[in-house]
Structure 1
């Protein structure tokens, strides 16, 4: 489905590469800026904008569309615990997980923004044909119970005792015990009685308000800890009907994309959650992908199985989740380059809806929190050329069957074929010679990642004059392909530090594929800059300085980067 960007761009919907300087496009290939997104979230790719605030997501919508995502998932937007006096570090003077500690179910919090800003973000997303998924929590509140709002307490029966399950402050020790799993306190978080009708009414009013503002779907956090219809229950006279109401009795229910976080383990009842919610996460599969990429073993026997037993493959897949990254320290096991290899595998496949967790900006093995700020974008890896190529491939391959094969029985490489229309090749090890069997239709294919390397298919054999390098992704298809001009790029020198202790700090700016890059400091006027120019950060009234970078490519597609520097 083609989506229009803005009135200012409509006059240039189709231009030729001859009119574009510096895009690296073929001289004969038309260039489009009218991005194809999937009509349904399930058929596209989702960007998890982890800890980005509403305004940052809104300003980044051109980047998100240009990277081929059909949906963006926010962090929880409910009112939440304001810890460390409102500090905005991901971890330190502030915590990322405070927005997973609700104090009330109303839109807006100090970390992400206001209700009006959320609505404006949704409006901007819909201009690009991008859907908005909201991460929501119904299972628990903050453990700082004196911060829970009176309105929520009233909706929960009038007291904290009635808001929570009878054993809602008893630690969960046995995940295999379904009554305990769905009524006891998990991770120190008091368990809400989600079966109480007055609470359900209050909570689903919040959900309907999200929908009224533009939400197109929801991720239910800790869904495994909310009972299924036939799960054991406390003797309180209420029914286990939360999921029926969540999926059938909210506004626009038939068009929403809803999935539950069900981490696999003892007695997880994954198949039953899929039936009642519609979709769930598939955490085991992500682990298999990570270990396969890290070990250079992506044998079809491992990566083809979703590891969900006989359950329907209505799942959300990932290479890593934010919990994997933070709690399991997956940054120690695979780097960003390897994440992209895994992403190519899960996104090229027919089933599952892939979710891309964007790691913190400037993060690394040695510095997992990177810039360590809530509200800014994450790492630019989310819009890497390999990521965008496979995202658009996924949208174009809707309805095509899949075939996974290790070329020449080499388990360090994997080819995901989609019917006879397209294929994605992932190579994790040494250079891969291209001379192996394929189901692709005869013809010449150009790698949609580098936009120049040609592959030829004849009589069931694919060949290429050059080998596929180690740690590479190749994306091949013709039918359904649209050439998009490369977006502009803005940023700072890779050696930049985001904390400083002198009164001033000099930052080197970067940009490419643009002649109109600008920067602004702390909301000041925009100043033009060129690649390599420098700007001086000055310690002032606030210990945090905000640097915003903007640019457009030749077709007017916007790019945006927000960086913050902390005086220590």
Structure 2
């Protein structure tokens, strides 16, 4: 159940429902995401993609386009359109993962809509001259031309300087906007020259002048390569991969990092400016160990992962994006599916089958309830009343709207905390949200009630590996 409405509270949090079907996403928007205040869903690439039964239908087949027909492992064009409409009606926006840097890299094959192709020849779409001349894999990330003009892991690299290619990509994305999509994640943006991607995005925006499209670009920038994320700031937000690494390392205790050091986390750390950063703890690549992924927490880290997401949703930096995964043992493994590669539904008999084959981290109590905390506290731009033990016990407020305590130490934490919250009784939303109960309200799941006194102080005991989060939308 959602918390009480609070003036100024606006949805801010995105969630990547990785490899969910369109029908399942529609139901999730109506039954969970809308009621809990999520801003939007990042969906898997909706275009026709290669189908690879000999590889066990891996997750990455979605990132090898064959055509821009909207027929994919997640469903048909009609199902996609219905999902977008239902989600929008539920107050949840849809952001499509746009694979516009390349086409499929296999020498030949068949797509999810039945299209047969050979590399550099995609029927009624692209032919030999529509691809960059460097037909070799990227080998030197210190050379910008090599990164943007050669082939990412052998994928056929589109010539995005071409008028025809740009127009074709804009037509594809415009089709999705016409269906109701509110924006795009730009896959492999660092492999497209910034000025050329800027031209594509400008043309897309010009085609839809009445819509404020959200654009966030995948620019993996560790600070040591030729391509830098600031080259892309003019065209939209960027996914800041360093954020997830820094926060994960603090919770993992790597590199001498502690939670206490996160008090100043932001642009001074080499991160993108707050208004341009989309931040996350992990994503579909990092949880599979790609590109230093071992430094990122994932759902397999249980309470540490939950606490890291609590921190992200409480700390006022960037636009947060949650990951919602499926269980896997092999990093190539596709979503739960039958022998023919047909994705198995999350919803069965109207009930979401989460916390098993479908992990659904976004439904973990601590994470889903912190979405409401983020919405309520977002109008307060700064951290207030910061406290730490100098190591891995921290607490901080968001003005008179919220307060969080995280104990990632081995010792129990008991103390008085100073807040700016109004006097009253609050649910610890990490344990349970405020819900209706017999004509009044109560804290779900037997969540602790925290009493804040007239001076804004409260006393609490927080066990190791636990947290408290209070906000004015969950006040009894």
Q: TM-score range by the shorter chain?
A: 0.7 to 0.9
Q: Residue 266 of structure 2: which of 292, 299, 306 is its match?
A: 306
CA distance in 2, matches of 1:250, 1:304: 40
Change (3 A) 1:104 1:222: same
Describe the superposition over 1:81-137 as per-residue Cα deviations: whole angstroms up to 9, x where unpaired.
01117xxxxxx621110010001122121x111110001111111121001111011
In the alignment, is residue 278 of structure 1 matched against residue 246 of structure 2?
Answer: no
Match of 1:431 in 2: 412
In the alignment, is residue 124 of structure 1 matched against residue 104 of structure 2?
Answer: no
Mapping 1:167-246, distance limit 5 Å: 167=134, 169-229=135-195, 241-245=198-202
| Larger relative helix fraction | 2
CA distance in 2, matches of 1:37, 1:53: 35
CA distance in 2, matches of 1:33, 1:401: 21
Describe the superposition over 1:445-496 as per-residue Cα deviations: whole angstroms up to 9, x where unpaired.
33233334233445766322x4112222322112x4489xxxxxxxxxxxxx
* Partner SS, residue 357 of structure 1: strand
Match of 2:40 in 1: 71
Mapping 1:383-422, distance limit 5 Å: 383-403=363-383, 407-422=387-402
Q: Residue 427 of structure 2: which of 446, 451, 460 is its match?
A: 446
In the alignment, is residue 51 of structure 1 matched against residue 14 of structure 2?
Answer: no
Describe the superposition over 1:386-414 as per-residue Cα deviations: whole angstroms up to 9, x where unpaired.
11221011111232122166634342123
CA contact (8 A) 2:239 2:279 kept: yes
CA contact (8 A) 1:318 1:355 kept: yes
Q: Residue 351 of structure 1: which of 317, 326, 341 is its match?
A: 317
CA contact (8 A) 1:56 1:375 kept: no
CA distance in 1, matches of 2:282, 2:417: 31
CA distance in 2, matches of 1:424, 1:413: 11
CA distance in 2, matches of 1:303, 1:321: 24
* Partner SS, residue 66 of structure 2: strand
CA distance in 1, matches of 2:258, 2:345: 34
Change (3 A) 1:187 1:291: same
Mapping 1:109-188, distance limit 5 Å: 109=72, 111-147=73-109, 148=117, 152=122, 155-156=125-126, 159-160=127-128, 162-167=129-134, 169-188=135-154
Q: Residue 290 of structure 1: which of 248, 257, 264 is its match?
A: 248
* Partner SS, residue 147 of structure 2: helix
Change (3 A) 1:294 1:55: same
State the Cα distance separating 1:206 from its structure 2 match.
1.1
CA distance in 2, matches of 1:268, 1:440: 44
Q: How many residues align?
A: 426
Worse-matched range after superposition: 380-389 or 298-307: 298-307
Match of 1:533 in 2: none
* Partner SS, residue 467 of structure 2: strand
* Partner SS, residue 341 of structure 1: helix
Q: Gapped runs of 5+ residues in structure 2?
A: 110-116, 338-342, 347-357, 433-442
Match of 1:269 in 2: 228
Change (3 A) 1:290 1:174: same
Worse-matched range after superposition: 333-342 or 134-143: 333-342
CA distance in 2, matches of 1:473, 1:200: 49
CA distance in 1, matches of 2:121, 2:61: 20
* Partner SS, residue 412 of structure 2: coil
* Partner SS, residue 218 of structure 1: strand
Q: Gapped runs of 5+ residues in structure 1?
A: 1-30, 86-91, 230-238, 484-568
Change (3 A) 1:481 1:454: closer
Change (3 A) 1:70 1:226: same
CA distance in 1, matches of 2:203, 2:359: 33
CA contact (8 A) 1:207 1:250 kept: no
CA distance in 1, matches of 2:332, 2:150: 32
Superposition CA RMSD, Å: 3.2
CA distance in 1, matches of 2:2, 2:428: 18
State the Cα distance separating 1:320 from its structure 2 match.
0.5
State the Cα distance separating 1:46 from its structure 2 match.
1.0
Match of 1:463 in 2: 458
Match of 2:355 in 1: none
Describe the superposition over 1:284-317 as per-residue Cα deviations: whole angstroms up to 9, x where unpaired.
1101111111229543434642366374221111
User: TM-score, normalised to structure 2's length?
Assistant: 0.80
* Partner SS, residue 69 of structure 2: strand
